[in-house]
Structure 1
Amino acid sequence: MEVFDYLVVGAGSAGCAIAARLAEDPAVTVALIEAGPSDHHVSVWMPIGLASTVPKPGVRNYGYLTEPQAGFNGRRGYQPRGKCLGGSSSINGMVYIRGHRNDYDDWARLGCTGWNYEDVLPYFRRSEHHEDYSGRDDNRWHGGSGPLRVSNLRSPNPFSNRFVQAAIQAGYAANGDFNGAEQDGAGLYHVTQHRGERWNTARAYLHQGNAGDKTLSGGRRNLSVLVDTQVLRIDFDGTRAAGLTVVRGGVEQKLAARREVIVSAGAFNSPQLLLASGVGPAQELRDLGIRVVADVPGVGKNLQDHPDVILNKRVRSLDLFGHSLPGFAKLSMELLRYRRKRTGMPSSNFAEAGAFIRSRQGLAAPDIQLHFVPALLNHGGDRKKLGHGYSCHACVLRPRSRGEVRLRSADMREAPLIDPRFLSDEEDMAGMVAGVRAIRRIFAQQALASAGGRELFTDDFGPGEGNQQVIEAFVRERTDSVYHPVGTCKMGVDDMAVVDPALRVRGVQGLRVVDASIMPTLVAGNTNAPAIMIAEKAADLIRAGR
């Protein structure tokens, strides 16, 4: 049996960060356990590689499917999740967004002491190395010396700039920094890249900048990184987490924890592991023949995600990604350019520009986010048939619908049952319709309309704002997740909380959850940066003996 001070399950956005931070103390030993392989692959470090990793399950993508969703007319949703070092930060769209300050202040109002915006801002700044503030830590909003590289796009697509201008023409403010003083407005996104390459959390926290680090741990002797290692369950000594049972190389073995087991496996796999180990709703566990260690009814509940709909416009322009012989010829030339300079179309994160807008007056913060993509795409459709064009996503930032994650069996190698219950709350549909209408207004402005082209799949919307019922039908047929699941191991002080504000699991000892699953409510934006912040703060909580 191998023995470590800390065992961290899951080498994703949060797992890499907390393992590396804990290993900064040379007196402790840390093992980081990842079910997938390393992140050393061109599909990870080249930004446009996400086009090959995200659309379908693979070596580095779990590619989960949800249960049939009534809100989607019975369709199943798709949920890509990273399965390699860096987790979903190795396959995501690299958009660096923290959310709105009100989100964190709301957490504090729910009883999560120490998690308001002013409490968490230092951890965002500590993690960040923004190229505009490199080497400086005197900026109110940004850090300049953290491990996570954040930059402006090196080669923004001309149509991304057109989108920003069109949004301004439609009446929205310009915003060059969604993570600054105000979130409202339209602009180009900041991305987790450095010199045109993806900067996932493995490269930031483990490899320390070396994309080909063969030790996987940056050479730190007190940090063991175990890839291709499947955790089967948490082992308990009474109600204390004592270690893990894992499978490595086809052999089952034990890992022991002197101090703590830290679960950082994400919004789907973290509750799955707790449940498979006997921590969760007692009756659900007994029904599956699992011995109950602690009756914690909130495990797997409170699943929240951003429902997302996409509008397309076909445009004949080789500035846009698309499936055509001229398009492939241009991309070939762009790949050569990328090899030489790390610029050009291969450095695109696809979701290059966007906006945070309010669906109606009187709201305290934006409630809709837009992602503009210089390519035609849709949820689950065949992009090869679409040709060249651009797309825009709209998602509801604070959905009211709540779902759950349950076990199919006690075997961690079997996918969990995922039921987000998208659009089960009528207010979410109202937000989606408002998002569709906002996109069409932006598409109609001169900055984009002057490029010509035509919208796809919206011919029957009707004039003006469009027919409400027709748009609702469009939303049900074409909405899916934008891949921001959270909340299934909720932090809080109520009876359904899974972890306390120090992220310790209720009813047991020596066990914490540190990832996006602890969010009591979904933040207004992409969830990668907040997951990293959670890990940074958790490391301080652990070191302080909380």
Structure 2
Amino acid sequence: MFLETATYVISYIEIKLLVPVITLFQYGLILVSSLPLGYNDYPQHATVHNGQSFDFIVVGGGTAGCVLANRLTEISDWTVLLIEAGDDPPALADSPGWSTLAGTSLPDWGHNTVDDKRTSQAHKKRNIHLTSGKMLGGSSISNYMFYVRGNPADYDGWAERGNPGWNWDNVLNYYKKMERIEDEVIQKHSGKLRGQNGYLGVGRFPWEHRTESYYEIFKENGRNILIDYNGKEQLGYAPPQFSIADGIRQSTAAAYLKPIKDRPNVYVLKNSVTRKIIFQDKKAKGVEISLPDNSVINIVANKEIILSAGAINSPKILMLSGIGPKEHLQEMNIGIVHSSANVGQNLQDHVLVPVGVTGKNNITSIIHNADALVNLNKFPIATMLGFVSLNKTQKYPDYQTTVCPLPTASVLAATLCSQMLDLEDDACIDLANNSKKTELLFALITLLHPKSRGSIRLKSKNPLDSPLILTNYFSNEKDLDDFALYIEDYVTVLNTNYYRSVNSKILDLNIKQCKGLELGSRAFWKCYILNTAWTHYHPVGTCAMGPEGDGVVDNKLRVEGVQGLRVVDASIMPTIVSGNTNAPVIMIAEKASDIIKLDHGISPI
């Protein structure tokens, strides 16, 4: 008992010391990278005046906004104003390793979900911080760079819901247009399904010395081993693909904005907040913005305004502008331009939970703890990606696994637990204690197709206030039942020869809300999922595309009920895709650019 208590106390001190040290390290990285070093990689901050006009105004210089700024200014006589609430990204943003280690210290909107008193209760704050990049490039700089297109069934499903032109065969053309595959094995394997001349470099890092034996384990467990999950089939395990090329993070700021920084018809306003859209007889005529000096001016759009502020801020701006649920706008004392009950509804997100299993006591694997600091030109942690369906005849996955083989005495286990997942100290202490003794197979299991729907609502009519984000995770009980089945399916890996030989066990993180439930039982997993649920940072759907009356925008992404206004970002997804959402958002922006050109009589380039 004494030894157990002493071990707990030591681990508690370690966790309490580790987190502030890592946080200090992250902010130190940001501070150093923000020093003026004479670089001029992005367009200069534009000087504008009240009443000035541009052909197109793009609100939000994030993942989609940078793509639109590039593609629309290909038309030399169109002027485009890109409005970004943040600044240039810090210098370390180009480094895949350093930007990953910087984590939540990168410029961010600071959005937090509402504590629903039911889900995510094993986290320190009982709610979730929805990281959302606030800088040029947006969340394509603060994400983890996994490059996943999704599944053909996702897009065929969009088309079947009344959105012609968004089926797989159509969107595939835009994936090929945007990609520049840097991996010869994938080029040879997937041939005409992949692009080789696009702006966005895509690479992969197999980590053979760290992961090869685990692929054999998953193969024994009945999983397919793939070369390219973005190719002919998605179901199986494979080395992840990343938006990384030539050692550079392929954010849309780096890939799409840097190359056009001197293009004379692109104008970029930085540190400037869009307060609302200005309408005249239901036609979007301009935007009201606050400049870095806090002065408020109006800017006019000659052709269109495009909202690319993301799944949280785009519906917020629409509601501040008078487009949204009638009763809610009246409650906020906002004049109604168009009553649209669907604005801010249909919020979907990929929910994940951590699952760890113990391996062998391999003291030599400790040397792999240095991997994160010596692989700064790529993703710093050896990782495998899996897409699994319980129905063997089904061609799309039910759940996704992001699997990291961690060495003995890995500090990453505690870091992931305490900082990224924000779990309570007791859970992270248990994880840290286990990582001292054995190797760990640490996985994030993700529910890919939730039936539950959340919402975005205004907290006030102050444009600077974050909105109320209600995730409503597991409000549809079938999500909880299905998720428990998926985890039960994943942990069958313990039945393989290797894990039986090392007497592997599931890590019990001692979630106090699940005390007394048998580890591994259906009741335990449902309790565990409910309380440890975290976000994969994939909010979508809050300005969903759909036929009239069923969505917020039509299949050309035009906001219903008004003129001169579109939405182009993750919020237009009717249903969430089967995987990480960064690549689909870039595809959406590429396709939207062609739609806009065609609507204005210009043949796409």
Q: What is the TM-score normalised by the length of structure 2?
A: 0.80
Q: How does 1:30-49 map to 2 (within 5 A)?
A: 30-43=80-93, 45-49=95-99
Moved more, 379-388 or 294-303: 379-388
**198, 214, 218: which one pairs with 1:146?**
198
The answer for the alignment partner of 2:291 in structure 1 is 248
Question: Which residue matches 1:213?
Answer: none
Shift of 1:525: 0.7
Residue 40 of structure 1: how far off its partner (Å): 3.3
Does the CA contact (< 8 Å) of 2:181 and 2:187 recur in 1?
no
Question: Which residue of the partner structure matches residue 149 of structure 2?
Answer: 98
Structure 2: distance between partners of 1:248 and 1:308: 38
Rate the CA distance shift 1:504–1:470 in 2: closer, same or farther, 3 A.
same
SS in 1 for 2:217: helix
The answer to whether the 8 A contact 1:95-1:190 is kept is yes
Q: How does 1:10-409 map to 2 (within 5 A)?
A: 10-43=60-93, 45-54=95-104, 58=105, 60-69=107-116, 71-72=118-119, 75-132=126-183, 139-153=191-205, 156=207, 158-208=209-259, 217-249=260-292, 250-313=294-357, 330=370, 335=373, 337-338=374-375, 342=377, 347-348=378-379, 350=381, 352-374=383-405, 375-376=412-413, 377-378=416-417, 379-381=421-423, 385=429, 386-387=431-432, 388=435, 389-409=440-460
SS of the aligned residue for 1:72 comes to coil
TM superposition shift of 1:317: 6.0
Q: Distance in 2 between matches of 1:351 and 1:258?
A: 49
The 8 Å contact of residues 64 and 589 in structure 2, kept in 1 or not, is answered as yes
Q: What's the CA shift string for 1:116-141, capped at 9, x where partnerless?
A: 00011000110110113699999321
Query: Is this contact kept in 2: 1:233–1:244, CA < 8 A?
Result: yes
Q: How has the CA–CA distance of structure 1 residues 39 and 69 changed in structure 2, closer, same or farther, with 3 Å as cutoff? A: same
Q: CA deviation at 1:358?
A: 1.0
Pairwise CA distance, 1:496: 3.3
Find the aligned partners of 1:131 and 1:461 in 2 and give their Cα distance: 48
Q: Distance in 2 between matches of 1:161 and 1:113?
A: 43
Which one has the bigger helix percentage? 2
Tell me the CA shift for residue 511 of structure 1. Answer: 0.3
Q: 1:405 to 1:162 in 2, by over 3 A?
A: farther
How many corresponding residue pairs?
Answer: 518
User: 2:568, 2:588 within 8 Å by CA — same for their partners in 1?
Assistant: yes
Query: 8 Å contact 2:448–2:579 — kept in the other structure?
Result: yes
Instruction: Give per-residue Cα distances to partners, 1:452-504, cap 9 Å, x unaligned.
Output: 875422688758xx311111111112111111111000101041310000000
In the superposition, relative to structure 1, how do residues 449 and 531 fare at CA in structure 2: closer, same or farther (>3 Å)? farther
- Cα 1:443–1:320 shift into 2, 3 Å: farther
- Partners in 1 of 2:95 and 2:275 — Cα distance? 30
Cα distance in 2 for partners of 1:398, 1:432 equals: 10
Aligned partners of 2:336, 2:176: CA distance in 1, in Å?
A: 41
What's the CA shift string for 1:324-375, capped at 9, x where partnerless?
Answer: xx887x36xx64x557xx3xxxx22548311111124454521111111344
The answer as to whether partners of 2:494 and 2:505 remain within 8 angstroms in 1 is: no
Contact 2:494 2:504 in 1 (8 A): no
Deviates further, 348-357 or 251-260:
348-357
Any conservation in 1 of the 2:94–2:250 contact (CA below 8 Å)? no
What is the CA distance between 1:163 and its match in structure 2? 3.4
- Superposition deviation, residue 164 in structure 1: 2.6
Q: Distance in 1 between matches of 2:120 and 2:194?
A: 43
* Structure 1 residue 474 corresponds to structure 2 residue 528: yes
Residue 64 of structure 1: how far off its partner (Å): 1.8
233 and 398 in structure 1: CA distance in 2 versus 1, 3 angstrom threshold: same
Once the two structures are TM-superposed, the CA of residue 312 in structure 1 deviates from its matched residue by: 2.3
Q: Which amino acid aligns with 1:5?
A: D
Does the 8 A contact of 1:359 with 1:431 survive in 2? no
Superposed displacement of residue 281, structure 1: 1.1
* Unmatched segments (≥5 aa) in structure 2: 1-49, 406-411, 511-515, 601-605
Structure 1: state its 5+ residue gaps: 209-216
Tell me the equivalent position of 1:517: 571
For 1:496, what is the secondary structure of its paired residue?
coil
Letter in 2 for 1:92: N
Distance 1:191 1:318 in 2: 30
- 8 Å contact from structure 1 (residues 207, 218) kept in 2: yes
Return the index of the structure with the highest Cα Rg: 2
Shift of 1:183: 0.6
Look up the equivalent residue of 2:578 and give its one-letter code: A
Does the C-alpha gap of structure 1 residues 411 and 390 become closer, same or farther in structure 2, counting only changes over 3 Å? farther
| Counterpart Cα distance in 1 of 2:261 and 2:90 | 14
* Cα pair distance change 1:338/1:308, threshold 3 Å: closer
> Match of 2:422, as an amino acid?
G
**Distance in 2, Cα, partners of 1:434 & 1:368:** 10
For 1:435 and 1:320, how far apart are their aligned partners in 2?
30
Shift of 1:66: 0.9
8 Å CA contact 1:351, 1:371 repeated in 2: no
Give the equivalent residue in structure 2 for 1:9: 59
Partner SS for 1:456: coil
- Does the aligned pair in 2 maintain the 1:50–1:93 contact within 8 Å? yes
Structure 1 residue identity aligned to 2:352: D
| Residue 442 of structure 1: how far off its partner (Å) | 2.4
Deviation at 1:157, TM superposition (A): 7.2
Please report how far the alpha carbon of residue 59 of structure 1 lies from its aligned counterpart in structure 2 after TM superposition: 5.1
Equivalent runs, 1:477-496 vs 2, <5 Å: 477-496=531-550
Distance 1:530 1:252 in 2: 34
Structure 1 CA distance for aligned equivalents of residues 57 and 120 of structure 2: 42
Q: After superposition, what is the alpha-carbon deviation per residue over 1:20-47, rounded to whole angstroms, capped at 9, x for unaligned?
A: 1001111111111111121132155333
SS in 1 for 2:551: coil
CA drift at 1:73: 6.1
CA contact (8 A) 1:135 1:144 kept: no
Which residue does the alignment assign to 1:214? none
Q: CA deviation at 1:393?
A: 1.1
> For the structure 1 residues 161 and 405, does the alpha-carbon distance in structure 2 shift closer, same or farther, using more than 3 Å as the test?
farther
Distance 1:469 1:541 in 2: 49
Cα 1:424–1:78 shift into 2, 3 Å: same
Cα pair distance change 1:262/1:135, threshold 3 Å? farther
The alignment yields a C-alpha RMSD, in angstroms, of 2.7
The 2-side partners of 1:539 and 1:410 are apart by 31
Q: Does 1:528 align with 2:578?
A: no
